[in-house]
Structures are given as C-alpha cells and as structure tokens.
C-alpha cells in the first residue's frame, strides 16, 4: 500500500465526515423549522484495483439524501390559516419571481393585500371556488392557479329566492276558521321583510291561503289561493306558491318559490312543521375564515353563514425524496423525482388538510447529537491516518540524507 494512497484515503474519510457533520448542523439548526425535512449522508466505498500484489487504498464517497416523504408530527395553533397536510402532497406557493414551488411549510398568515403567505414570504396558490363543480385541474402543470386572496370578502347580503312552509291545518274546524303564520325573507339590500301567510277554511278538504308582506306598505304577493286536500288529509294542489316580485325603498324584493307539498289537513291543532324557512341573509360582516379538510377556504360572516371562496390545490410526485431542495423550505421538480401531479386534498393519492395545525420538523435532535459524536470520532481517526502517512512519508524522504 502506497503512503500517498494512505494519505489520500484519510483525506477522503475526513471529507466524508465533514459532509455528515454539515447535514447534522443543518438538521439541528432547523429542528424547530415548520415542515423541514432532514438531510442525511449515505456512504459508499471507492475501491481501486490492486496491481502486482500491491494494495491500492481507495476511499469513500458520500451521497446526500432528504427524508421529504417522512411526515413530521403536528403542533396545533389558534390560527385558522395555519395549515398542515396529513398524508401525501405539497402546498403550491409562488414567490416574487412568479415561479411556483412545492412546500410542506404551512404557516400562512393573511397579508394586508388579502393573500396568504408563509414565514418564508411565499404566497399560497389555489383555485377559485365554484358551488356547481370543482375547477378543472391541469394535472401535470400549474396553469389555472391563482393566489388565495381574501381581500374581496366584505359585508354581504343575499336576496331570498326559495323557501319551504309545510303546515297542518286542523280538519275538525268549521268553515271560516282562520290561522296565520309568518316567515322572514330578505330583499336585495339585505333588509328583512316579514311574509305573513293566512289560512282560511272554506269547506271540507278546502282551504285558502294568502300571503302579504307586512308594511308599510302592506303588499299582497300571493293572492287568495285555494288548497285542496284528499280524504287522507294530503295536499293535492297546489304543491308550491310563488310570490310576486316588487320594489320597495330602493331595493328589489324578488319572486320566491315556496314549497308547500308536505302540508296536511289532519285532526290535530294547527302547527308549522320543522324545516320551515326562506333562504337569503341580512347584511353581515366578515368575522373570520375557515379551511376544511378538503382545502375549501370559506369566509365566516357574523350571522354564522359560510361563503366558500377558494379551494387549496395540492401537488405530489412519484419520488418525493428526489425533489430538489431550495432555500425557504421549498422543493422543485428534478429529473429523478418524476413529474408533478396536481389534485385536491382528500382525493386519491392526497392527504387531508388540517386547519389550525403545523407540521413539525422530522428531525430527532437526540439522533443528530449521536451522529455528531460518531462523525467527530471518525474524523479524528481519519486525521490520524493522514498524520501517520505524512510522518512515514517524512521518514522515506529522509532515508536519502
């Protein structure tokens, strides 16, 4: 074995342990970083061919690996915009350069412009919510994504358009018996309007109903309508009533379709069945936000209503551990990671979103300290090999003197 080879092998070992100490230092430094995935060093031997019975010492090579697919534990917070992914997937975020990246760091906070940004300053991306269907996803690209922005959330009012009112009319009452009930409806400006229904028995199995908005001014919106019941006390016609639209105080009171198909005429007191309602809501202010396990971002109003605005998109790749790490706890696609696949939380291949939670670093500090001690001892041992080779080289050189 050549003395030069001995020294070269010692240097190789010191470089390898220095790499390992570098990953240990980074892991310990980021042990409290949200969503951080630990780095590790894998060693492999370099073997040189022996020549003429002489052994040529090789060395050691290192390969850096990242445990990106290893999920950390969760810490729970009081902020609804703190997000964690339970299972597979990454959030898509965008930086000031307009380029999209992947991350597991979900410490998002609403900025003054309404966007949600994490601690590294990257903006959460998603799709505008549709109540009729999920947005169309470009499976292998980021097209169609838009920043999740809640700045447009403000005072909201929704006009009434439909409702339900099922009652029981007492069959034993005489003709001329009258009874009233009412429901609240809302105009286009969110003003509440009391809609009063009056039922009058006119004959066996026959009643009339009329509906008026309490004034001022009192406005008849359903003129006298005849209700017909069969011998079993079930309503035969009509099964629905529609109010007449009109303008009032600068607002529009739209037509409202009211389902009455479940009304009955039985030998019991007058009663309004559970579920009587008219949709719409009065003017309400935003009091907060909610993000459910499927990533639907909703605005919460002071009347308790939820209005969905966005749906958070997730992405994954075939080999997450081979993604390219980028400063800011970000990842980008590499040649070895496979292509990026887009989807939604809760769908096949993707985990669910936890609101009010953050994913902890997957670093085990005790394990890293143990690795640090091992690397320190191994580095010292390799330095001794180098030192011994150097001393023997001096002896060899001095033989000529």
**Mind giving me the DSSP string for 123-164?**
EEEEEE--SSSPPPP-TTS-TT-EE-B-TT---EEE---EEE
Q: Which residues, in sequence order, are bridge partners of residue 389?
A: none
Compare 323 and 397 and report the one with higher pLDDT: 323
Q: How far is CA 141 from CA 69, 170, 207, 306, 357, in A?
A: 21, 64, 62, 30, 28
Determine which of 99-103, 113-117, 147-151 has the lowest per-residue pLDDT on average: 147-151
pLDDT at 5: 78
Instruction: Kindly tell me if the per-residue pLDDT of 55 is higher than 90.
Output: no
Q: What is the pLDDT of residues 243-282, one digit of tens each?
A: 999 998 889 999 999 999 999 999 999 999 999 999 988 8
Q: How far is CA 13 from CA 46, 125, 301, in A?
A: 11, 45, 63
The fraction of the chain above a pLDDT of 90, given in percent, is 64
Q: What is the pLDDT of residues 192-209, one digit of tens each?
A: 899 999 999 999 999 999
Q: Which residues, in sequence order, are bridge partners of residue 95?
A: none
User: Quick count: other Cβ atoms within 10 Å of Cβ 298?
Assistant: 20
Which class does domain 158-281 fall in? Answer: mainly beta
Whether 187 and 193 have beta carbons less than 8 Å apart is answered as: yes
Q: What b/e readout covers 72-90, taking b as 16+ CB neighbours within 10 angstroms?
A: beeeeeeebbbbbbeebbb
- The full set of domain ranges for the chain reads 3-67+362-398, 86-155+285-351, 158-281
Determine which of 7-21, 159-173, 233-247, 255-269 has the lowest per-residue pLDDT on average: 7-21
Q: What is the mean pLDDT of residues 90-106?
A: 93
Instruction: Kindly tell me if the per-residue pLDDT of 98 is higher than 80.
Output: yes
pLDDT at 304: 75
- What secondary structure letter does DSSP report for 68? T
Whether 208 and 224 have beta carbons less than 8 Å apart is answered as: yes
Instruction: Kindly tell me if the per-residue pLDDT of 8 is higher than 80.
Output: yes
Question: Quick check: helix, strand or coil at residue 177?
Answer: coil
pLDDT at 177: 97
pLDDT at 112: 86
Determine which of 42-46, 300-304, 379-383, 388-392 has the lowest per-residue pLDDT on average: 300-304
């Amino acid at each position: 074995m050549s003395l030069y080879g001995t020294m070269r092998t010692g240097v190789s070992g010191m470089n390898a342990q220095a790499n390992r100490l570098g990953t240990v230092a980074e892991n310990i430094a980021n042990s409290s970083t949200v969503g951080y995935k630990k780095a590790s060093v894998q060693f492999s031997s370099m073997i040189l061919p022996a020549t003429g019975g002489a052994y040529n010492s090789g060395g050691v090579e290192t390969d850096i690996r990242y445990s990106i697919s290893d999920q950390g534990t969760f810490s729970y917070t009081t902020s609804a915009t703190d997000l964690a992914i339970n299972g597979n997937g990454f959030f898509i975020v965008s930086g000031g350069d307009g380029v999209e990246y992947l991350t597991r760091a979900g410490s998002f906070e609403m900025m003054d412009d309404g966007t949600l940004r994490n601690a590294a300053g990257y903006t959460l991306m998603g799709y505008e919510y549709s109540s009729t269907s999920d947005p169309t996803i470009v499976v292998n690209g980021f097209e169609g994504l838009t920043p999740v922005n809640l700045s447009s959330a403000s005072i909201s009012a929704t006009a009434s358009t439909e409702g339900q009112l099922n009652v029981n009319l007492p069959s034993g009452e005489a003709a001329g018996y009258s009874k009233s009930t009412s429901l609240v409806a809302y105009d286009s400006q969110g003003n509440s309007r009391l809609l009063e229904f009056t039922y009058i028995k006119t004959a066996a199995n026959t009643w009339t109903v009329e509906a008026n908005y309490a004034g001022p001014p009192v406005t008849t919106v359903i003129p006298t309508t005849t209700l017909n019941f069969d011998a079993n006390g079930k309503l035969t016609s009509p099964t629905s009533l529609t109010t007449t639209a009109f303008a009032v105080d600068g607002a529009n009171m739209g037509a409202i379709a009211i389902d009455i198909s479940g009304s009955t005429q039985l030998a019991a007191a007058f009663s309004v069945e559970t579920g009587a309602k008219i949709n719409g809501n009065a003017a309400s202010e935003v009091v907060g936000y909610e993000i459910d396990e499927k990533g639907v971002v909703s605005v919460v109003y002071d009347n308790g209503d939820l209005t969905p605005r966005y749906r958070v998109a997730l992405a994954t790749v075939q080999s997450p551990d081979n993604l390219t790490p980028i400063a800011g706890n970000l990842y980008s696609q590499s040649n070895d990671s496979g292509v990026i696949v887009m989807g939604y939380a809760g769908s096949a291949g993707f985990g669910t979103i936890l609101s009010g939670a953050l994913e902890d670093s997957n670093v085990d500090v005790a394990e890293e300290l143990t690795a640090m001690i091992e690397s320190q001892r191994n580095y010292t041992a390799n330095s001794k090999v180098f030192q011994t080779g150097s001393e023997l080289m001096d002896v060899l050189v001095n033989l000529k003197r």
